[in-house]
Amino acid sequence: MGSVGEKLLSYIDTSMQRDNNYQIAVKMLENYDALKDMSIAQIADMCYVSKASVSRFCRFLGYESFKEMHDALGIDYPISYDYSQRFFCNLTADPHAAFLDYAREAQQNIAATISEKNLAELPKIAYAIHNCCRVAFFSHHFLWDTGRYLQNKLFSMGKVMDLHLDQASQLACARSLQSEDLAIICSVGGSYPMRYVDVCNSIRDSKCSVLAITQNTSNPYWNQATFIMQCGESNANDTGKYGALAAIDLVVQQYLLQYGSDAFPGASDFAQQHDMV
């Protein structure tokens, strides 16, 4: 999900092997701006591999064919999507003031996430994660990385969470869910159900429990959600991600509170000695 460039970067960042696929990814990144004007034969020559190897690599990245990947190269993801014209003007006029405004927006989202409503839901959310058969995380772009953070934290407390980067793998995961499972959908603006209709329809059809982490709580898709955590109030200048990460951290800490005591064997004795329980 996201641009071809994001997929290539994710691949080389996580690859355990320096094989043909790795070399193709590196070469494509080094010549990324030229790729949209290159044929499969030209890319193969550039990477010193066969056209068949390039086709296999495209499928490995989650595209059905070289053509689908090549078409995706034409979709632009400029950084201006994340920041407003006004913010950039303020940034050029007075960087320090712009940084402070940005920090205030981020802090407001974090504070709004730590709401009484969210806090009241946390024990039930942690219980659902702990007792479900499978838990799977669905998102895209930066929010996928918050899922990896959650995956690592849950694993350290004995719970394995499914997490897949590309749309095809997320769809396969969604189609495999059962009613006793839990799907976590993290989408600050609430656009994930509209962008990835097949994935979300499969989640709905599975009748599994759903935790939505979003600012757009009015999205009709969330009508079938078991839990909704509102992660802040504004995504101006891409500050919504701080609310999403705060929501993930709240889930981690609540899970730690309910199910992670084994990591702190002396904590209960300490609490009793200091009248903390």
pLDDT < 50 stretches in the chain: none
Say which residues have a Cβ less than 8 Å from residue 158's Cβ, sequence separation at least 6: 259
Listed residue (220, 170, 168) closest to 191, CA to CA: 220
Judged by DSSP in three states, 182 sits in strand
Please give the pLDDT value at position 40: 96
Please give the pLDDT value at position 269: 62
Say which residues have a Cβ less than 8 Å from residue 77's Cβ, sequence separation at least 6: 2, 3, 5, 6
pTM, two decimal places: 0.82
Please give the pLDDT value at position 265: 77
Please give the pLDDT value at position 160: 96
Please give the pLDDT value at position 163: 94
pLDDT tens for each residue of 152-189: 999 999 999 999 877 778 999 999 999 999 999 999 99
Cβ pair 136, 174 in contact under 8 A: yes
Distance CA 204, CA 202 (A): 5
Domains in the chain, CATH or no CATH each: 4-73 (1.10.10.10), 109-260 (3.40.50.10490)
Q: Going by DSSP bridges, is the β-strand pair 182-186/161-163 parallel, antiparallel, or unpaired? A: unpaired
Cβ pair 174, 138 in contact under 8 A: yes
In a 13 Å sphere around the CA of 37, the CA atoms on its Cβ side amount to 3
Please give the pLDDT value at position 6: 83
240-259 helix and 142-156 helix, angle to the nearest 10 degrees: 10
Say which residues have a Cβ less than 8 Å from residue 113's Cβ, sequence separation at least 6: 229, 230, 231, 232, 243, 246, 247, 250
CB neighbour class for 203 (10 Å; exposed up to 12, middle 13-18, buried from 19): buried
